[in-house]
Amino acid sequence: MAYCLVFVNTNNGHPLLVRSTNILERNEHTPEIILNLLERPSDNQIPLALIGILTSSYTFSTKFGITLRSCHTDDCTIHFHQYNDHLLMCLLEPTEYDVPNECTQYKLVLLRTLFNMIIGYEYIDKISQTNPQKLENDLNLVKYYVDTILNDERTFSFGDLTQCADTLCGFDRNIMYSCLKQISDNLQCEHVSITLSNRIIASSTGWSRLTQAEQYILTLLIALNDYSNDILPTVRDMPVYLDSIDRSHNYRLLSIRVLGQVYVSILCSATPKMSEFESTVDRYCHSQTEHIQNLNSLLYPRSFHDNIIFDHNVQALIYVNRQTHFCVSTLEPTKTSTPLSRTIKKHRYGLLKQFYMEIVRIDKEQILPLGNINNETKMNEMYMLNDDDSQIEHKCYFLREQDYFELYVLFDVNIPTIALRGIAKKTLMMLRKNL
Amino acid sequence: MATLIVDDHPTALLDHQWLNSDQALECLKAIKERTENQLRDFSLLFNPTLPHSIVTKQYRYKILLVGKTGCGKTSLVRALMGKEFSTLNSQPTLGIQTTNIYWPVRINQSTKPVFMFRLDFWDVGHTSSTRFDYIDKDSVDSLDMIIFVVSAADREGFNELHRLIEEKQSQCSPSRRFISLVFITKFDQYPVLTENDANEFQTKYNISVYLLSNAYSTMRLATGYLNLISEKLYRRDLELTGQL
């Protein structure tokens, strides 16, 4: 999905940060191409004149008491988000994707949370007026994370869409909860989490009280190097700001890679030292090495324990529990000896995401508005067959039970349409027992 | 191509030729990737397991990397693991990140003991360290070595290097001396600094200086640097305990 973010100073129209997924996609090629891009501005880079028009349109309307939320061109939708009195975020997306407003707005919330968490709202607010050049340099810190949010195919998770925390399913959480409690008690820290890549295995009450956006960004920071094919550090100590606790004071996100993609992370102040944190985690996790090893090998990257077996027609799915605000997803529901290729995963991810957004769009529209205005009829089941030139390309099914439990399934195209409902029902029943 | 400025200690305390032996190959097998000729990423509960008959002891060292944003500190750690040294497309480090590199050494003694050195590289993001005081305090605690990293395109940074070294020395405990090394990176990308500059610095301040290019980082090169680092750390240990 192509996106572009412009973070601009409305006082002078100077762009402080511009990131585009088109450029990102090119960056995944050889260094020669990147060098060419750096030397020759490409057509994917946004001209300064366009940034000027965006900024002036917004400030012009504000002068007349109108807050411009979004505008459309033939091929592009531009969303505006006022960061503060003189900073504006513009998110550009192709109109053809028809992304529901709710999803775009949440992406802007995630980006705002990211800026606040890494650089700090008060710092940005102050320095944007006194030293914008320095702010431009400081924003280099967030570039990689912005790119990951814009280009969510890097993470293959759905937390940014569902607004729930990504988790895993089908294993006994008790051992990890007891480990987490011992670490929490020993370090006297109320914000602790254990994650597998960017999915939460267990988290303390304090951690789950953070906003969904904060939890999403934190897991992104923890699992960052998993996506970049870079070295995997053992311990990391990152200064972060948490608006939901106290935005004027920085916290430390201490994170340790225990084994494989399993991390233990805490949010703390001046103590503990990194070495103390490492020895504490070692003390309480060492006896559970075998269990953690099993979690890592059984749950990654499928997200479901081996004992959860799906119908062979299921190609990908998202299960959301709106009561607990957790979601679990997989792009490879059937465990095979050879891992699925990235191309197939990307394709499935794109289709499932498109289907999810389609349901959100329909769901948010007023269904049957005639007569009783209070009649809040909700759509609880829907199937979709997408075709191209009369040939069916894929089949999807949506199922909701008791308002809270939602299932979105991407099926193999050869499944008889009549079987979709039965398999979806059976799958949801099985997942509800586990999460 | 990376250039190595000759070290000032002609008599090695470690047996560097041992790394070509069958015994060393067994050790290296435990710390290298199975498919690629580079070191593995270890974690808290995943450490190399070696027979006690070969490795008698493990020593742990703390090595701090200091340098401006984008000078290639993280890329240097990559290079020391035998991975590609590339500063293109790299993201600035947030706060501190530590990477553990395990490296086996055999001591030049009559009993020829084999030790496993665990080198903990503390990579500190420059922007974070200038903004958050706690980062500097935590990173200089119990230090064994500081590697000062400077880009070959940064003359100003190079000129300030000695002042920075003195500043770091003043922050650390005088009873626990740390070793200083300098790595000049990106020597193949518009270098402003020359080999002469590096030589002069080394002679004037008696601090070893190494030149590193973006290209040609290999396990062979990493082996050379890890041997050097291990040698210096072991020498310092012996000096601190009065055995040398």
Percentage of the residues of chain A whose pLDDT score is greater than 70: 89
Which chain A residue has the Cα nearest residue B76?
A231
Q: In this structure, is residue B147 part of a structural domain?
A: yes
Q: In this structure, is residue B85 part of a structural domain?
A: yes
Q: In this structure, is residue B128 part of a structural domain?
A: yes
Q: In this structure, is residue B20 part of a structural domain?
A: no
Reduce the DSSP state of residue A104 to 3 states and report it: helix
Which chain B residue has the Cα nearest residue A144?
B91
Residue owning tokens 């605000």: A325
Domain A171-299 has CATH 3.30.450.30: yes
Contact B50/B27 with Cβ under 8 angstroms? yes
Interface of A with B in 153-182 (CB under 8 A): none
d(CA B201, CA B161): 10
d(CA B69, CA A68): 38
Query: Which phi and psi (to 5°) does residue A232 adopt?
Result: -105, 100
Task: Report the domain count for chain B.
Answer: 1
Q: Which tens digit of pLDDT belongs to each residue from A368-425?
A: 555 555 556 677 888 887 766 666 678 999 999 998 999 999 999 889 989 999 999 9
Burial of B190 (0-12, 13-18, 19+ CB in 10 A): exposed
Interface residue B132 vs chain A (CB under 8 A): yes
Reduce the DSSP state of residue B52 to 3 states and report it: coil
Superfamily covering domain A4-154: Dynein light chain 2a, cytoplasmic (3.30.450.30)
Interface predicted TM-score (ipTM) of this complex, two decimals: 0.89
Contact B38/A229 with Cβ under 8 angstroms? no
Task: Report pLDDT for B215.
Answer: 62
Task: Report pLDDT for A336.
Answer: 80
Q: Give this prediction's pTM.
A: 0.90
Task: Report pLDDT for A226.
Answer: 65
Contact A213/A110 with Cβ under 8 angstroms? yes
Interface residue B49 vs chain A (CB under 8 A): no
**Å from B40 to nearest chain A CA?**
9
Q: Residue A261: what residue type?
A: Q
- Residue A98, both tokens: 């028809």
Q: Which residues of B touch A282 (CB under 8 A)?
A: 44-45
Contact B94/A221 with Cβ under 8 angstroms? yes
Helix, strand and coil in chain B, % to nearest 5: 35, 25, 40
Decide whether A4-154 matches A314-434 in CATH topology.
yes
**Å from B118 to nearest chain A CA?**
13
Annotated binding residues of B for GTP, written as ranges, equal 67-74
Give the CATH number, domain containing residue B124. Answer: 3.40.50.300
Q: What is the mean pLDDT of each run of 10 residues along chain A (435 residues)?
A: 77 86 48 40 63 88 90 86 92 83 92 96 92 90 89 84 93 91 95 93 95 95 74 92 93 94 94 93 93 86 89 95 95 86 90 92 67 64 74 86 94 91 95 90
- Residue A390, both tokens: 């009369």
For B214, the domain range is 61-103+118-240
Q: Residue A107: what residue type?
A: K
Rg (CA), chain B: 18
Task: Report pLDDT for B6.
Answer: 46
Q: In this structure, is residue B113 part of a structural domain?
A: no
β-pair partners for A250: A241
Q: Which tens digit of pLDDT belongs to each residue from B50-98?
A: 877 887 789 999 999 999 988 989 989 989 999 876 655 678 889 999 9
- Residue B144, both tokens: 């064994």
Which chain A residue has the Cα nearest residue B138?
A273
Domain A314-434 has CATH 3.60.21: no
